[in-house]
Amino acid sequence: NADMAMYEAKAGGRNNFCFFSRHMTQQANERLLLESQLRAALANGELRLALQPKYSVAARHLTGFEALLRWTDATGRVIPPTRFIPVAEDSGLIVDIGLWVLREACHVAAGWPAAGKPALTIAVNASPRQLAQPGFADEVARALASSGLPAAQLEIEVTENALLEKTGVVQQTLALLKKLGVRLAVDDFGTGYSSLAYLKNFAPDTVKIDRCFVTNLQHRQDNAAIVLAIITLAKSLGMEALAEGVETEEEFAALAALGCDTVQGYLTGKPLPLDEAAALVAAVSHPT
């Protein structure tokens, strides 16, 4: 009966609305909770850096590390960066957290023996929110000055989408960072709104090829074609080509054959706690 069907649809609809609304409120509350926990984590020193080594393909020697955030809360629960970085970005908390990462990374790298030739680099991820801060380049200069780390040993990683930002501030920040002598890298290359015009203007020192193109490279004609194109582009523009997420010897061999300069991945090293990274640096600085 038509009336009955109408009644049910309305009731169902209303229930659905209640369900979605409750669901959304719950999600919003979870984000708010995570945000306040993250704010406390920063204040209480629950954030740590993990350092993932990077290696040259040709000589397989250590070239540096990428600093990656780690958060273990007071109860021992590990919250992955893919979960808390978006919350930090939306809330603006990433500005303070990013500043902590920058200072900590410079401090750690400044303590490494200057034996390597060229010296080991430390890469730090910068979110679009940080780059849009008018004072960001000044903060980088201060972090370098107070740690004593030479600018050429610091690399700032920026995603392609951050480069799309039309605001003058981002462009100005990138220009100021270049003037400081800091290295610039484009992160997760090929997954965002890749624009060759932006790549040309930004002129990074390093192009980081996203893991999605690297996985099973040796069996995937399409991935191999994309990786070759990125490596060729990077090298003809005088940039270093780095492959992310290299997990197997087969992928490594394929990358070597395609002329990739540097690799970073579980094959050559997972992100390490600071003491283990220091031991690795000591081992290459004073080989036995």
Please, which residue, 43 or 114, has the CB nearer to ligand C2E? 43
Q: Which of 188, 240, 251, 261 binds Mg ion (CB under 5 A)?
A: 188
Residue 101 interacts with, from ligand C2E, Mg ion, none (CB under 5-8 Å by kind): ligand C2E
**From the CB of 247, what's the least distance to ligand C2E, in Å?**
4
Q: Which residues bind ligand C2E (CB under 6 A)?
A: 52, 68-69, 80-82, 85, 94, 98, 101, 125, 127, 157, 187-188, 211, 245-247, 265-266, 271
Q: Does 104 bind Mg ion (CB under 5 A)?
A: no
**From the CB of 115, what's the least distance to ligand C2E, in Å?**
26
**From the CB of 39, what's the least distance to ligand C2E, in Å?**
16
**From the CB of 151, what's the least distance to Mg ion, in Å?**
19
Q: Which residue has the tokens 């999605």?
A: 212
Please, which residue, 79 or 258, has the CB nearer to ligand C2E? 79
Please, which residue, 204 or 265, has the CB nearer to ligand C2E? 265
Binding mask 144-163 for Mg ion (x = CB under 5 A): -------------x------
Please, which residue, 37 or 190, has the CB nearer to Mg ion? 190
Please write down the HEC assignment for all residues of the chain: CHHHHHHHHHHHHHHHHHHHHHHHHHHHHHHHHHHHHHHHHHHHCCEEEEEEEEEECCCCCEEEEEEEEEEECCCCCEECHHHHHHHHHHHCCHHHHHHHHHHHHHHHHHCCCCCCCCCCEEEEECCHHHHCCCCHHHHHHHHHHHHCCCHHHEEEEEEHHHHCCCCHHHHHHHHHHHHHCCEEEEEEECCCCCCHHHHHHHCCCEEEECHHHHCCCCCCHHHHHHHHHHHHHHHHCCCEEEEECCCCHHHHHHHHHHCCCEEECCCCCCCECHHHHHHHHHHHHCCC
Backbone region of residue 123 per phi and psi (left: phi > 0; alpha: psi in -120 to 50; beta: other values): beta
Residue 204 interacts with, from ligand C2E, Mg ion, none (CB under 5-8 Å by kind): none
Q: Which residue is nearest to ligand C2E (CB)?
A: 265
**From the CB of 282, what's the least distance to Mg ion, in Å?**
25
C-alpha–C-alpha distance, residues 251 and 181, integer Å: 33
**From the CB of 208, what's the least distance to Mg ion, in Å?**
5
Q: Which residues have CB under 8 Å from 136's CB, separation 6+? A: 126, 130, 173
Please, which residue, 26 or 216, has the CB nearer to ligand C2E? 216
Residues paired with 243 in a beta bridge? 209, 263
Please, which residue, 26 or 186, has the CB nearer to ligand C2E? 186
Residue 261 interacts with, from Mg ion, ligand C2E, none (CB under 5-8 Å by kind): none
Q: Which of 52, 63, 121, 125 binds Mg ion (CB under 5 A)?
A: 125
Site residues (CB under 5 A) for Mg ion, limited to 243-282: 244
Residues near Mg ion, by CB under 5 A:
125, 157, 187-188, 244
